Chain A
Amino acid sequence: MSLLQVQNLSTAYGPIMVNREVSLIVNDQEIVTILGPNGAGKSTLLRSISGLLRPKKGAIRFNDRNVTGAPADRMASMGVVMVPEGRHIFPDLTVQQNLRLGAYCRTDHNAIEQDIALMESYFNVLAAKKHAKGSALSGGQQQMLAIARGLMARPRILLLDEPSLGLSPILVKEVQSVIADLRSKFSAAVLLVEQNAGLALSVAERGYFLQHGRIVGSGTISELKDHALIHEIYLGQHSRPKSVRPSAT
C-alpha cells in the first residue's frame, strides 16, 4: 500500500484546465520527483494535493483514506505538508514564531520545544537568527526556514516546490543534502518539484515527467536519465533560464 495515491486528477483555474488525468504514487519514506518545464502545472499539482486547490476530477488517497477535496488545514493535520514555491515565510514574525506555527497541529508541547531545538541545531542559521524577523533572512536562509517549518509538523510526506529556486550553487548543495537526509532524520516521504534536474535526479529514487499538465513519462532515476524527454525538457534550459522570482518578502 502506498502512502499517497493520486488518481486521474484534473485541476483547473476557472475555465482553464491545468492538470489533466494525473496519476502518481509515493510510497512511505520514498523520495519522488516531478520534472517538467515552466508552466507544465507542477505547482498546480502540488497545490491540489496539499488542499489549497480543489481538484475538478479524480481522487487523492492518503494512508488508504479518500482525502479528495479536503482543505489544506486538514491535509496538514493528517501529515501532508507543503513547502510552497517562493518560501512564503511570515516576514513580520520571528524565525522561532515561524517554526512554532509549523507545529500548529501538534499538542505535544515538550516535543515541540525539542523539535525547535533540533531544527536550530540542524539548520545552524536558524539558531543564530532565532529572534530575527523572517524578512531579515537571505533567500537561502528563508528556504532553510521554510523546510524546517514544514518539518515542525512532523509530516508523513513533505511536498517541496522548487526549493532551489534563486539560490546560489553552494546553497543548492546544502538544500540537496538536507533533502537527501529527510528520510533518515525525519522519516518523511518527499514529493519534490524541481527545475534543477541535477538536484532532483541526485536525491530522488523515482520520478515523473509532467508536460502540458499531463504525466508523459515515469520511472526510476536511471530510467529517467535515459529518457528522451529529459533532453527535451532540460537541455534547452541554459539558453532559456527560468527567471529568478523574488522571494516571498
Chain B
Amino acid sequence: MEIFFQQLVNSLSVASVTILIGMGITLIFGLAGIVNFAHGEFLMVGGMATWFLVSAGINFFIAVLGAMILVGFLGFVAERGLFRFTLERPMNGFIMSIGLSVILQHVVIRLFNEVQKTIPDPIGQVWVVHGVDIIVMRAIVIAITAIVVAITYFCISRSRYGLALTASIADPDTAALMGIPVRRYVTGVFIYGSVLAGLGGALMIALFPITPFTGSVVIIRGFAVSLIGGLGNVGGAVVGGLLLGLVDGLSAGYGFPEWTDAYSLVLMIAILIVRPQGLLGGTLGPKAS
C-alpha cells in the first residue's frame, strides 16, 4: 500500500508535465489547426532556461517565471513569424514545425552542449506521511499543475473570453461575424500554450534530467494525451494526462518498466479506435480546405 501511494504521487507528478504539454497542444490544434511539432522543444527550452538561470544562482521559482516568459515569447515569434502564414495549409505548418524543432535542438546544443542537465532539488525535503516518503517538490509540481488546470478551465468555461474562444474553435467565420477577433485569439492561445510548455519544462527539470532531445519524446506523449481526451478539449487533456501518467507509473511499478511507452501508446490507439473523437469529445480542428 505504501508503495502504491508512492507510485501514485510519482505518476501524478509525471502526469502533471504531460498534462501541461497536452493542454497546450490541444488548445493550439483545436483553435488554429496548427500542429506544432516543436511544442516539445518549447518545453525543452523552458527546462534549459530554468537550468541556466538556476545555475547562475537565481531562485528556482523566479527561474520558472523566466522560463515561462521566454517560451511565451518564443511562441509569439513562431506564431507571428511562421505559423500565421500556413493557417490555410496546415500540412506546410506541420513540416515547418518539424524543421523548427530540429533548429531549436541545435541552437540549444550550440549554446550549451548535448549533455543532460540537472538542477538540485529546489526544495530538497521529504514528507513522511504514515511511513510513506513523499518528495515535497513532486507534491508542489502536482499542486502547481492543479492550479493552472483550474484557472484554465475556469477561464474557458466561465469567462466571456472563454466563450469567444470556444466559438472561434467551433466556427471561426461565424465567430468573426460576431465581432470576435479570431486571429488575435489564435495568437493569444499560441502564446498561452507556449507558456504552459515553458512551465512544463521548468517543472520537469526539477524532477528529471533534461537533454536537448527531451522534446521529441515528450511531444509524442503530448499528442497522445490531447488525442485521448479529444482535441481542443482542455478537460480531455487533463483526463488523458492522468490516464497516461497512471498507466506509466503503475506499469513501471508493477509491470515491465521498459514497456512503459508501449503501454501508453497502445492505450491511445485502443481509445482512438473505439472513440475517434477522444474520450471527452473535441473538435477536429478547422477543416483543411
Contact = CB atoms under 8 A, between A and B. Distances in A.
Interface of A: 50-52, 71-73, 76-77, 81-82, 84, 88, 90-93, 97, 100-102, 104-105, 149, 153, 248
Nearest to A149: B178
A7 B55 CA distance: 64
Interface string B140-181: 000000000000000000001001101100110111111111
Nearest to B182: A73
Given A97-B163, A101-B175, A73 B170 contact: no
A93 B164 CA distance: 11
Given A73-B179, A149-B178, A101 B173 contact: no
B170 A81 contact: no
Given A52-B173, A88-B171, A90-B171, A104 B178 contact: yes
Given A90-B170, A92-B170, A73 B176 contact: yes
25 contacts: A50-B177, A51-B176, A52-B177, A71-B181, A73-B178, A73-B181, A76-B179, A81-B177, A88-B173, A88-B177, A90-B166, A90-B171, A90-B174, A93-B163, A93-B167, A93-B170, A101-B167, A101-B180, A102-B178, A104-B160, A104-B164, A104-B178, A105-B178, A105-B179, A153-B178
Contacts of A73: 176, 178-182
Contact of B163 (A51, A77, A82, A100): A100
Contacts of A248: 171
Interface SS majority for chain B: helix
B176 A72 contact: yes
Contacts of A82: 177
A141 B33 CA distance: 31
A57 to B, nearest CB: 22
A72 B173 contact: yes
A90 B181 contact: no
Nearest to B184: A73
Contact of A153 (B160, B166, B179): B179
Contacts of B175: 101
B115 to A, nearest CB: 48
A52 B176 CA distance: 8
A221 to B, nearest CB: 28
Nearest to A134: B170
A119 B160 CA distance: 19
A93 B170 CA distance: 10
Nearest to A79: B179
Given A84-B177, A105-B178, A149-B178, 20 more contacts: A52-B173, A52-B177, A71-B176, A73-B181, A73-B182, A76-B177, A77-B179, A81-B177, A88-B174, A90-B170, A93-B167, A93-B170, A97-B163, A101-B167, A101-B178, A104-B164, A104-B178, A104-B180, A153-B178, A153-B179
A91 B173 CA distance: 14
Interface in B162-212: 163-164, 166-167, 170-171, 173-183
B282 to A, nearest CB: 11
B33 to A, nearest CB: 18
Contacts of B176: 51-52, 71-73, 76
A84 B174 contact: yes
A81 B177 CA distance: 6
Q: What are the 6 closest A-B residue pairs judged by CB atoms, nearest first?
A: A76-B179, A105-B179, A72-B176, A88-B174, A77-B179, A73-B181
Contacts of B183: 71
Contacts of B174: 84, 88, 90
Nearest to A89: B174
